[in-house]
Amino acid sequence: MIYNKEKKVLYSAIQPTNLMTLGNYLGAIKNWVKLQDEYNCFYAIADLHALTVTQEPADFRAKALSLFAQLIACGIDPDKSLLYFQSHVPAHAELQWVLCCNTYLGEAYRMTQFKDKSQKHAENVNVGLLAYPVLMAADILLYQASLVPVGQDQKQHLEISRDIAIRMNNKYGGIFTVPEPYITVGGARIMSLQNPEAKMSKSDTDVNATVELSDDKDTVIRKFKRAVTDCGAEIVAREDKPGITNLLNIYSETTGKTVAEAEKEFEGKGYGDFKLAVGEAVADKLAPVRAEHARLLKEKSVLSDIIRKNGLETRAAADRTLVKVYKKIGLVPKDNK
């Protein structure tokens, strides 16, 4: 990545726990691609975060590598952004320990996600789960990020990152940039095809609820044909028609047409024709992504070179902050000669 001092740093991450969905792509990754030209972007595969839940090693490794390739296929340019594996940068874990020593236990216990995951995984309530938001703070602060795209479920984590940064800046003098939330204008919120009141999720157990970026054309169209719709026959975006509204939003995002234009296009047509058209539009949009993803996974040397190059560059950026932190808090500097 060519670092531009005139541009702000933007940081975001995604866990490699399941295959990426249409919701991830339209709701976040499309914006990641656009942001590459506006900011110095650090995009992480958050594999360390994923370890709070027990993973099957071979499957986990394959998913992480597949996600890395998929993000490039979606348009994340390794020459414009630093796309990397969190576990390849030791400074994440090193800075987390320093931040843990400057985070109050009550702050960690108050995190909504800790409470939710403790209930969902009662058999594995580990220390990592409690320290999860501190690792996220380390992720962000390590690169002096000014901006972090956040959804509703991540606002608390950004808030604690800000609190820790301000606390340490006050205690030791300026160390960290205090991050601000990046609010996406007009970002798509893609809902489940089977429950349009809930977001499309990678962890949904209903295979018909989500469209995965790796789905072939027949699978995509079949899922849209089975999509839940609403009472009545009008194809309009309205609060009392969440199913049709969701499909109109998806159609708009994949074709570039406005929702109003889509409503006019399908005026007087039935739900069956509409769902087929949405399915075909999505399949056409995903076809080049799927093809490039498959190519990258076959060309392992190309992928390995990108991973190695980006890992080296990311470690160098992270170490600059870590050296500064260690000096400020009074640790003896390393002799790297």
Please state the domain extents for the chain. Answer: 9-183+300-329, 217-294
* pLDDT above 90: residue 204: no
Amino acid letter at 145? A
157 and 133 Cβ atoms separated by less than 8 Å: yes
Say how far apart CA 90 and CA 312 lie, in whole Å.
11
State the pLDDT at residue 154: 67
* pLDDT above 80: residue 220: yes
Active-site positions read 117, 199, 202
Domain 9-183+300-329: CATH superfamily, name plus number = HUPs (3.40.50.620)
In three-state form (DSSP H/G/I as H, E/B as E, the rest C), the secondary structure along 68-93 is: HHHHHHHCCCCCCCEEEEHHHCCHHH
What integer best gives the mean pLDDT of the chain? 92
DSSP 8-class letter at 58: H
Domain 217-294: CATH superfamily, name plus number = Tyrosyl-Transfer RNA Synthetase (1.10.240.10)
Confidence of residue 185 (pLDDT cuts 50, 70, 90): low
pLDDT in tens, 139-153: 999 999 999 998 756
State the pLDDT at residue 123: 81
Say how far apart CA 32 and CA 265 lie, in whole Å.
30
Span 216-242, average pLDDT: 94
Say how far apart CA 156 and CA 108 lie, in whole Å.
10
Which of 48-52, 77-81, 99-103, 109-113 is predicted least confidently? 109-113
Please give the structure tokens belonging to residue 93. 């874990």
Whole-model pTM: value is 0.90
- Among 321, 328, 329, smallest CA distance to 141 is for 321
Spell out where the chain has E strands: 9-14, 40-45, 82-85, 147-149, 180-182
Span 41-48, average pLDDT: 97
Span 30-41, average pLDDT: 94
* pLDDT above 80: residue 3: no
- Among 303, 308, 305, 317, smallest CA distance to 72 is for 303
Confidence of residue 183 (pLDDT cuts 50, 70, 90): confident
DSSP 8-class letter at 334: P
**Three-state DSSP class for residue 180:** strand
Confidence of residue 186 (pLDDT cuts 50, 70, 90): low
